[in-house]
Structure 1
Amino acid sequence: MSAFSSILLSLASLSNSMSVVLDVQAVFKPPKAMRGGIPICFPQFGNSGTLEQHGFARNRIWALDEEHPPLYQNDNNSKSSVDLILKPLEDDLKCWPHCFEYRLRVSLSKDGDLSLVSRVRNVNGKPFSFSFGYHTYLSVSDISEVRIEGLETLDYLDNLSQRERFTEQGDAITFESEVDRVYVGSPNVIAVLDHEKKRTFVIRKEGLPDIVVWNPWEKKSKTMVDFGDEEYKQMLCVDAAAAERPITLKPGEEWTGKLELSEVPSTNCSGHLDQPGII
């Protein structure tokens, strides 16, 4: 198992107290990607390009970054981190002929707050473009009791309607059927309210303009061999992403994309993005 997969498993084990979840029927046989945790989608998010769906990074063996200590704690011992690095394999260069260095820092606080910082550098002789996503699987009590705040009035691309563009009309996003949308130009703070457990997942992002919202619902769940027929009821993907427009790097340039995920108590009332500690 790759170093990266091991970290995803560790994060998924926190699902009872934190938000990351690993699907019960997930497959742990590389090079197949795990369904759950926070797979890294690079250099392609979705399946609109020439690469395999969501790119190859989530299927590869990551190494510890030798330029940094393999594991360290900050000065007040409240956070532990690990630094990983991914470089292209020969097979990767055949399907995506661009040299890159991808560095990932994963940090977890003693309170359960999670931070992922990705840095992609172009070490190629020419520019290249990529799309990206932190494909975050959230553990929820009941999908019908969940709402997302922070995406109101935004345009979204509906992947269930050939990426046709619509405008969000509701005062929050709720779920009654399959959803697969790219909310473009989204704010950097999003709240996911789980009414039954009276908790709010707070998603903060930097360098990632879009939010992807996905739940397969009942019909699609039954067609997925690594996903339980009823698991759609207890999960929701809310992904910080660069999905609508690709990121382009010139030779020597570096891009940084950051995700922070935390959990705070909440009630059924709205307006959580204005509460102290969220923004």
Structure 2
Amino acid sequence: MARSKRTIKMQLEYDGTGYSGWQRQLGAVMTVQGEIEQVLGRITQEPVSIDGAGRTDRGVHARGQVASFATGSPMPLGRLMYSANSLLPSTIRINSMRQVPESFHARFSARSREYRYFLLEHPSAIDSRFAGCCYGRPDVAAMNRLAEMLVGTHDFVAFSKETPDQQGTLCTVTEARWYRYGRFHVFHIEANRFLRSMVRFLVAGMIEAGMGRLGQEDFNAMLESGCRRPHLKPAVATGLFLWNVRY
């Protein structure tokens, strides 16, 4: 007789430096999702497919990623989590596991996601692994004026990489601001959804404004018209963290 399956919610963190993003890919490519699925499948002796709340890009980190999966294994969750963390690379860590209703889905049940981008004024031999760099002192007040413009529902197509499965380009931003944390300038943004590379493009535009290379009118024109300036490239992935997911 087939075993009934449980739906499990996991909270995890990872250093995305050595991975080709969250989402599993064909071929011999290391992804965070692929590593976790392989380990859970080895422990439970069954195929495991997990769903993440956010599909982070290559090199992007997570402090508060959430994932869910179904399993027929009766193994106690404390033991399952301990076993998984023993086998996972040191750059991936599952912080909690709990059983949730079958209807729960890490991606589709989420109400909002929060990202943070850490920015240095000068390169660092240590901190550059987890931060971008603007090579000078930015005008943070100017950057915050642009951040204020992001709050509300907007079409962010000019600040994204289009993907075939993208379900529209409207996103509702509930909070966006820059603040200082030690030697870092930190951009905090929360929204109901994010497009591919959206935060990194927004950060790049605000850095350009903060360094005096882009005017507020030009930034607003991109937001209103949906046309991105050709020279604008996404900020480096090293500084970006999926920080929290709310349900």
- Normalised by the length of structure 2, the TM-score is 0.35
- Normalised by the length of structure 1, the TM-score is 0.32
Q: Which has more helix, going by share of residues?
A: 2
Flag the structure with more relative contact order, 1 or 2, with Cα contacts below 8 A and sequence separation at least 6. 2
Q: Which has more strand, going by share of residues?
A: 1
